[in-house]
Chain A
Amino acid sequence: MNITVCLKRVPDTETRVRISDSGTSIDLGGVKFVLSPYDEFALEAALRMTEASGEGEVVALTFGDTTSRETLRSALAMGADRAVLLNGEVTMDGLATARALVSELGEADVPLILFGVKAADDDQQQVGPMVATLMGRPCATGVSSFELTDGTVVCDREVEGGTERIELPLPAVLTVTKGEFEPRYASLKGIMAAKRKPLEEKEAQVSPARITVEKLEYPPPRAEGRIVGEGPDAVPELVRLLREEANAL
């Protein structure tokens, strides 16, 4: 089965974020970028499915500027067969991103489209279900494991207070969370092979963003805290402070 995995290049989660002088974006100097961690789970899932069945190709698809080439190369190094870059400016408007992806996905008609459950930068958790809705396909979000059967996909997903098993007819869209699909490291052979795999670039068909960033701010500083004491003997004072000062109990 052919599977397309939609990926995003994001700042490494250990990165300290600095707001640029413009005040509406982050300063990219010295920031290390990675494939969004949840997208790695999605890619790993796709690779395992095609490896198990012995047929079908895995396509890595991203919408972004040319710096995303590097991200797609790392997906190819993990094992994706080919990659497509939709060249354009990504904004906070997830629906514009979804439409740009659909303009490409609509042509390919793959039976299974995977996303990470969220991107580690904007964390809006919206592009996957939007793409599914625009394409009229069923979608399960937060999938921790899944099995492909004849014409359906059966997913386990994290929901409040437990896990749910849900069956979707194919073609379908899934957003994948951490679970069964611990991502592999790219092998040296994979990294070498990635250089020869096809990476196609197209201009993205993007509508103007209808959400604009007016400014970015750092989180408000927290008031200076205090060390209440050491060991169990500090507990009564801690509880008193929580009750009387913080009004938290």
Chain B
Amino acid sequence: MGDVLAFAEQRGGELRGVSNEIVSAAATLAAELGGAAHAVVLGGPGITGAESVGAFGAVRVLVGEHDALDQYVPEVYAEALAAVVRGGDYAAVLFPATAQGKDLAPRVAALLDVPLACDATQVSAADGVVRVVRPVYAGKAFAHLRMEASPALVSLRPNVFLAENVGGTAAVESFAPEVGTPTTRILEFKATAGGSVDVAEASVIVSGGRGMKDPENWHLLEDLRDALGSDAALGASRAVVDAGWRPHAEQVGQTGKTVAPKLYFAVGISGAIQHLAGMRTAQTIVAINKDPDAPIFTVADFGVVGDALEILPRLSEEIRAVTAD
């Protein structure tokens, strides 16, 4: 009792960076519950590097490989994971609130008949009770929740929990996952041009709004994103998504995605309330806007007043110059 299980997400057989955040949070929570942190990885044959979660505080890592888990088929993953949870004595199970984690966690919760709190920004335990803080109304408020079921299922917002290398080691245990027959069939996957980082998970976001004046000017934002490294993604305001300039998948705000990156650039975005709600928990916010009275400047750490189209090329150039060292 008191153990915590972290679902470690892999892609192409390698653990994703966000998995370290989940394992770290699981280790902290397990200490508060008087138990140990375990991690579980599911995937097709060829999972590598699973032992690395030991450095982030897991004492065991369960590796379940099966051909049927090569692609993420939700109901198959959910059954396999629920079986792992039933096989342990877990007080809590933590998921990353990534695209996959958000799809998977509710299904596991329903199979186990326990409630789920999604997209948490804090998780803690005292006297055996798990408590969670999560944004509501896209971040206009935060709800402090008490979980009254065991295990408590919680998904954690990416980029919020610190992946802390505590230098431990994890025992790697392979197991044969319980795999049912898939009912859904994946027919095709089409990659979006330019970058595969989802805006909800990126550690750096470059968002554009009406101040970009024309969708043709988006290459300036793409160039800034590229200058900021491989973990950067493009975002967009509702106005430019509604205008058909950008896909909805990029939209940041209450009717799009709520984000918490380390660095957020709002370029030519005035800052409607539903946009501000969706990005105000970013660690550092930079606003570029020609209107010095734009509401976006009220949440920005650093603001530059002026024409985004003139400022962007210089910004990409300067960032490349300083990060090249």
The chain A residues found within 8 Å of chain B, CB to CB, are 11, 13-14, 16-17, 19, 26, 37-38, 92-96, 98, 120-130, 132-134, 138-142, 144, 154, 158-169, 177-179, 209-219, 222-223, 225-232, 234-236, 238-239, 241-243, 246, 248-249
Contact = CB atoms under 8 A, between A and B. Distances in A.
B196 interface: yes
A232 B311 contact: yes
Determine the interface band of chain B, counting residues with CB < 8 A from chain A: 35 or more
Contact of B78 (A120, A133, A241): A133
Given A133-B78, A243-B322, A246-B284, A225 B116 contact: no
Given A217-B144, A242-B286, A249-B322, A164 B111 contact: no
Interface of B: 74-75, 78, 98-100, 102-103, 105-107, 109-111, 113-119, 131, 135-149, 183-192, 195-198, 201, 228, 241, 248-249, 251, 253-255, 258, 262-263, 272-274, 280-281, 283-287, 292, 297-307, 310-311, 313-315, 318-319, 322-323
Given A164-B186, A219-B280, A92 B117 contact: yes
A47 B227 CA distance: 45
Contact of A161 (B110, B195, B255): B195
Contact of A129 (B106, B114, B307): B106
Given A37-B255, A95-B115, A164 B297 contact: no
Given A216-B143, A219-B280, A227-B297, A161 B192 contact: yes
Nearest to A227: B303
Contact of A138 (B184, B307, B322): B184
Nearest to B281: A219
A84 B249 CA distance: 32
Nearest to B182: A138
A198 B278 CA distance: 38
A17 B137 contact: yes
Contact of A94 (B116, B189, B228, B307): B116
A93 B314 contact: no
Given A13-B254, A234-B306, A134 B110 contact: yes
Given A128-B106, A167-B185, A211-B145, 16 more contacts: A13-B254, A16-B140, A94-B106, A95-B110, A123-B118, A126-B109, A141-B102, A160-B201, A164-B189, A165-B186, A166-B187, A209-B115, A210-B115, A225-B299, A234-B306, A242-B302
B184 A162 contact: no
Nearest to B318: A239
B118 A130 contact: no
Contact of B75 (A121, A138, A235): A138
Contacts of B146: 211-212, 214
A189 to B, nearest CB: 27
A165 B302 contact: no
25 contacts: A16-B273, A26-B141, A94-B106, A95-B114, A120-B255, A129-B107, A130-B109, A141-B103, A160-B100, A161-B191, A161-B198, A164-B190, A178-B248, A210-B149, A216-B143, A217-B142, A219-B139, A219-B142, A225-B285, A225-B298, A226-B302, A231-B306, A232-B310, A232-B313, A249-B228
